[in-house]
Amino acid sequence: MKDYHGRASNILNAHRREDIGREFYWAATIVSMMFTIFVAGGATCARRRDLAEFAPPVVFKSSPTLEEITAQLNKSQAIQRLESPVITISSPELIAKLQGNLVWQSPSNFRLQAYPGTRLMGTVLDAGSNSDVFWLQTQMPPPPTIYYARHDEFESQVGPRLHLPVSPLWLKEAFGVIALDPAMRHDGPVMRADGNVQVQSWIPTQRGPYRRVLVIEPQRCVVIQTVLYDAQEKLVAHAFQSDHKYHASVGMSLPRKVQIEMQPDKGPVIAFTVDVEATINQTVGNDEQRFTMPDTSGLSIVNLVQASTMTAALPAIPPAYSREPSGSYPSASERRTIYR
């Protein structure tokens, strides 16, 4: 009888192992299928980004005139809203990439937020602007700090600019929303040794005329570098734009990868790279309170204009005069991130 029960038990265990094996097989098969679909879907999305309809078209078959470049770039005036619900921020000095989102709405609304992987881990970077003020909130290095200024006070300040040399609104130019105001002085286009052309503009400000240099690929008329110098010819901000996508709704191409560096009057270079997939003149998500300055509870608060006034009496650091844009990007030792 014991032998009978033993054999029965062995047979039952064998069937159980067989059933478990079948369940594992089908589970593994389903996971494999889901993985295959995910990879194939991702590959399809990647391919969709590079479809011919999104490739920047040839706009000029010969070297364009300043008037032709102006007409093409000024199509950006049709852009009233630029939004990307998903962006990636990277830097050689970051351990991991940050995820986030951004939106710009004409004329002065802007918001860029970034977090490490998921929103549940909290926002580590928050840059924004509305019609009255702009701000930059960072979590690191400690303590968590928010830098802010009123637009009118920032534009008229006479002392050195600390922490931020420009307001976050300059980033709209880095992301390709650039216009050539006919009322301003413009020089060019000048052919460069690399085959691209260069257009310079003098922008009047209360701190004196700033000089902006645009490096443009002439055939497709896409901006591949945007450089800004202050009235003393010190480098203020520099953007390297690449991987352009054509937006038929406005008839122009905008970059999907932007390498950004900003040089305050005092302090190290702020540098990071943003990958963006922008939509134009569309509303994604809820705008309620989107352009409102964050709650400052628990934060160290720095008024950029007052901070500048308090340090204006200190000996000035000689300005770092920059060469004209050459296409090179600063080394990691010359940069830091605003959230390091």
**Domain range summary for the chain, segments of one domain joined by +:** 2-49, 57-336
Q: Determine if the peptide bond prior to 143 is cis (ω within 30°).
A: yes
Task: Check pLDDT > 50 for residue 105.
Answer: yes
pLDDT of residue 52: 66
| 79-88, 124-133, 156-165, 180-189, range with the lowest pLDDT | 156-165
Task: Check pLDDT > 90 for residue 323.
Answer: no
pLDDT of residue 34: 28
pLDDT of residue 330: 46
Which residue from 264, 62, 73, 88 is spatially nearest to 184, judged by alpha carbons?
Answer: 73
Task: Check pLDDT > 50 for residue 143.
Answer: yes
**What distance separates the 2 farthest-apart alpha carbons in the chain?**
106
- What residues have CB less than 8 Å from 75, skipping those under 6 apart? 250, 251, 252
Burial 222-235 (b: 16+ CB within 10 A, else e): bbbbbbbbbeeebb
In order, the DSSP letters of 18-49 are HHHHHHHHHHHHHHHHHHHHHHHHHHHHHHHH
- What residues have CB less than 8 Å from 146, skipping those under 6 apart? 135, 136, 137, 138, 294, 296, 299, 300, 301, 302
The fraction of the chain above a pLDDT of 90, given in percent, is: 57
State the Cα–Cα distance between residues 213 and 318, nearest whole angstrom. 23
Helices (H), strands (E): how many in the chain? 5, 16
**CATH level 3 topology of 57-336:** outer membrane lipoprotein receptor (LolB), chain A (2.50.20)
Q: Name the more confident of 257 and 16.
A: 257
- What residues have CB less than 8 Å from 278, skipping those under 6 apart? 82, 83, 84, 175, 245, 254, 256
Q: Which of 255-259, 327-331, 336-340 has the highest mean pLDDT?
A: 255-259
Tokens of 111: 């918001």
Q: Which of 58-72, 267-281, 314-328 has the highest mean pLDDT?
A: 58-72
| 70-74, 99-103, 105-109, 280-284, range with the lowest pLDDT | 280-284
**β pairing state of 269-276 and 335-336:** parallel
pLDDT of residue 324: 57
| 19-33, 79-93, 185-199, 314-328, range with the lowest pLDDT | 19-33
**Residues 180/188, Cβ–Cβ less than 8 Å:** no
pLDDT of residue 10: 52
| 96-100, 113-117, 287-291, range with the lowest pLDDT | 287-291
**Residues 240/329, Cβ–Cβ less than 8 Å:** yes
**Residues 235/229, Cβ–Cβ less than 8 Å:** yes
pLDDT tens track for 10-53: 544 544 444 444 443 333 332 332 232 233 333 334 434 556 67
Q: For all residues of the chain together, what is the average pLDDT?
A: 79
pLDDT tens track for 170-213: 999 999 999 999 999 999 999 999 999 999 999 999 999 999 99
Tokens of 328: 């090179």
State the Cα–Cα distance between residues 106 and 41, nearest whole angstrom. 35
| 31-40, 105-114, 287-296, 315-324, range with the lowest pLDDT | 31-40
Task: Check pLDDT > 80 for residue 229.
Answer: yes
pLDDT of residue 270: 87
Site of tokens 């989107």? 290
pLDDT of residue 325: 63
State the Cα–Cα distance between residues 170 and 261, nearest whole angstrom. 12
pLDDT of residue 3: 52
Task: Check pLDDT > 60 for residue 8.
Answer: no
pLDDT of residue 286: 60
Q: What is the mean pLDDT of residues 302-315?
A: 64
